[in-house]
């Protein structure tokens, strides 16, 4: 517990109207989008200036409490969940678009701007900010940068890191730096800006963000293809890539998800097929037409049973709803929805889908699977109930097997949701102990007192009493025993 005398000092920094410590406030900020994890903070603050954030972090170093940055709390790996002796630093009120620079094609925003508001602001002037997480109408750009969020358009346009040009960051010691800038090229010194992208709130608090915009594609074509078998759908994805066509989007939706979406959104989806692919191509009209017709041919060659092609933007929106509604539709079915984001090389998508199915059967748990198939990024989503501890245990064992399988195939345990609390125990198996050790060393140089979001991505304190491990062998033992907190 943070002593009340320290909480009073925190309250004085942000002012009493921006300080909250009632039971209701603490409960509200005790969880994010990650199931099965929550913890009450000691207080919640809404800082108004970057200097207040700096003061809070300096005080945290003096008084030894933790600070957990938070955007919208839509994260799916527990990144903004409080830790022991912590306050939550809410950044979602920092929601101003500060500048759009049409000469340099950039937009400068505060970290709490909702991602889809950046889309709207850019598109009004015929510019384009491509990263579009499924949560884009609720998540903040600060959270996107902290997680290096992906989205449906990642296949052609890349992910958040490809659009971050500059970051104003309050460091854990309270110093404020700006890394990056509007220059298209800049190789002076270490690339600190990219270093912060994906740091999951552990290395600094973003207070101002400079993003790259690109010209808006002149036209697009959206298609929804249904397949009798998931293998036909997976082979179609490989065939499209092999034909050297890079659609903006290739999304996969399995039968369980199709049925849930249909019950939820009544879109007229075919509920007897095993898989759907949502495909969107964009660019110059002539290229879009040519690519769309080649893709239609490839779908047919791989036994597509139906191909709906949107005639206008309204129809395109309706087809995309089939994918965008996937998580909400699945979440209605079971009281606890555990959504994961294993990612495998594209060539392994079909094999991974088979493995998820087999693992689900073996552990007697129900999965719906959807995801960014063009990126190899799949969301096996377990429909379960946390009131049934035996089923939760089976679900956890199933996910562990899925992660191990992904690593074996040359994939990863997270393509876009981050490691956070939820997946840190799998990181050593993926990255190797020396790599995790290096991450720990970087954290301890930048944040020696572990005040900023400690215990996320990897553990920092040994759980047991006694000396810290000093060599690789001892560290390996600690990891194997799960002896880090």
Ligand X SMILES: Cc1cc2nc3c(=O)[nH]c(=O)nc-3n(C[C@H](O)[C@H](O)[C@H](O)COP(=O)(O)OP(=O)(O)OC[C@H]3O[C@@H](n4cnc5c(N)ncnc54)[C@H](O)[C@@H]3O)c2cc1C
Name the residues that contact ligand X, by CB under 6 A.
Answer: 32-33, 68-76, 79-80, 91, 111, 133-135, 139-140, 142-144, 146-147, 149-151, 200-201, 205-206, 327, 416-417, 453
Nearer to ligand X, 87 or 205 (CB): 205
User: Measured from the CB of residue 415, what is the shortest distance to ligand X in angstroms?
Assistant: 8
CB of 326 to ligand X, least distance (A): 8
Residue among 153 and 363 whose Cβ is closer to ligand X: 153
Taking the complex as a whole, how short is the minimal distance between the CB of residue 426 and ligand X, in angstroms?
17
Shortest distance, position 483 Cβ to ligand X, whole Å? 24
Tally Cβ neighbours within 10 Å of residue 66: 22
Q: Residue 108 or 453: which CB sits closer to ligand X?
A: 453
Least distance from C-beta 242 to ligand X, angstroms?
25
Closest CB to ligand X among residues 420, 428:
420
Residue with smaller CB distance to ligand X, 252 or 327: 327
Residue whose token pair is 């660019």: 283
Residues 6+ apart with CB under 8 A from 129: 107, 118, 119, 122, 163, 211, 213
Sequential DSSP letters for 372-391 = EGGGTEEEEEEEE-TT-HHH
C-alpha–C-alpha distance, residues 270 and 254, integer Å: 11
The dihedral over CA atoms of 186, 180, 136, 281, expressed in degrees to the nearest 10, equals -10
CA dihedral 76, 79, 81, 86 (to 10 degrees): 180
* Backbone φ, ψ for residue 385 (5° rounding): -145, 115
Q: Which residues sit opposite 275 in a β-bridge?
A: 227, 254
Q: Distance (Å, rounded) from C-alpha 470 to C-alpha 356?
A: 39
Q: Which is nearer to ligand X, 363 or 456 (CB)?
A: 456
CA distances from 322 to 217, 260, 267, 350, 352 (A): 23, 10, 7, 21, 22
Q: Nearer Cβ to ligand X, position 91 or 451?
A: 91
CB of 306 vs ligand X, minimal distance in Å: 26
CB of 470 to ligand X, least distance (A): 29
Compute φ and ψ for 161, nearest 5 degrees. -60, -25
């Amino acid at each position: 517990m943070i002593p009340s005398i320290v909480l009073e000092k925190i309250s004085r920094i942000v002012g009493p109207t921006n300080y909250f410590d009632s039971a209701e406030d603490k409960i509200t900020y005790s969880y994010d989008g990650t199931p099965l994890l929550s913890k009450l903070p000691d207080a919640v603050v809404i800082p108004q200036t970057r200097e207040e954030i700096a003061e809070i972090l300096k005080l945290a170093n003096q008084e030894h409490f933790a600070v957990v940055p938070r955007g919208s709390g839509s994260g799916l790996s527990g990144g903004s969940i409080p830790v022991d002796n912590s306050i939550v630093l809410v950044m979602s009120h920092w929601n101003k678009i500060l500048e759009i620079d049409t000469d340099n094609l950039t937009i400068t925003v505060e970290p709490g701007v909702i991602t889809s508001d950046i889309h709207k602001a850019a598109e009004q002037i015929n510019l384009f900010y491509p990263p579009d997480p499924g949560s884009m109408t609720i998540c903040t750009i600060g959270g996107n940068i902290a997680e290096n969020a992906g989205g449906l358009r990642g296949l052609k346009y890349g992910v958040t890191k490809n659009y971050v040009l500059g970051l104003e960051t309050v460091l854990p010691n309270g110093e404020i730096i700006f890394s990056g800038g509007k220059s298209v090229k800049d190789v002076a010194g270490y690339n600190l800006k990219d270093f912060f992208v994906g740091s999951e709130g552990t290395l600094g608090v973003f207070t101002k963000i400079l993003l790259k915009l690109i010209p808006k594609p002149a036209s697009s074509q959206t298609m929804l293809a249904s397949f009798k078998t998931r293998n036909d759908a997976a082979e179609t994805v490989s065939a499209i890539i092999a034909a050297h066509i890079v659609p903006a989007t290739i999304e996969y939706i399995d039968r369980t998800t199709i049925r849930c979406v249909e019950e939820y959104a009544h879109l007229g989806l075919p509920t007897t097929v095993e898989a759907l692919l949502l495909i969107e191509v964009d660019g110059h009209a002539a290229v879009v037409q040519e690519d769309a017709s080649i893709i239609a041919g490839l779908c047919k060659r791989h036994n597509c049973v139906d191909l709906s092609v949107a005639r206008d933007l309204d129809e395109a929106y309706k087809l995309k709803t089939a994918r965008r509604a996937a998580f909400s539709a699945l979440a209605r079915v079971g009281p606890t929805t555990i959504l994961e984001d294993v990612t495998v090389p594209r060539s392994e998508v079909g094999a991974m889908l088979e493995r998820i199915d087999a693992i689900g059967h073996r552990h007697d748990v129900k999965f719906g699977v959807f995801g960014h198939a063009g990126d190899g990024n799949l969301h096996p989503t377990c429909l379960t109930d946390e009131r049934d501890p035996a089923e939760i245990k089976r679900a956890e064992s199933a996910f562990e097997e899925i992660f191990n399988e992904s690593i074996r195939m040359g994939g990863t345990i997270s393509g876009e949701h981050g490691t956070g609390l939820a997946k840190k125990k799998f990181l050593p198996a993926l990255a190797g102990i020396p790599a995790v050790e290096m991450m720990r060393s970087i954290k301890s140089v930048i944040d020696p007192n572990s005040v900023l979001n400690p215990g996320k991505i990897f553990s920092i304190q040994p759980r047991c009493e006694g000396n810290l491990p000093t060599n690789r062998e001892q560290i390996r033992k600690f990891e194997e025993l799960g002896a880090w907190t």
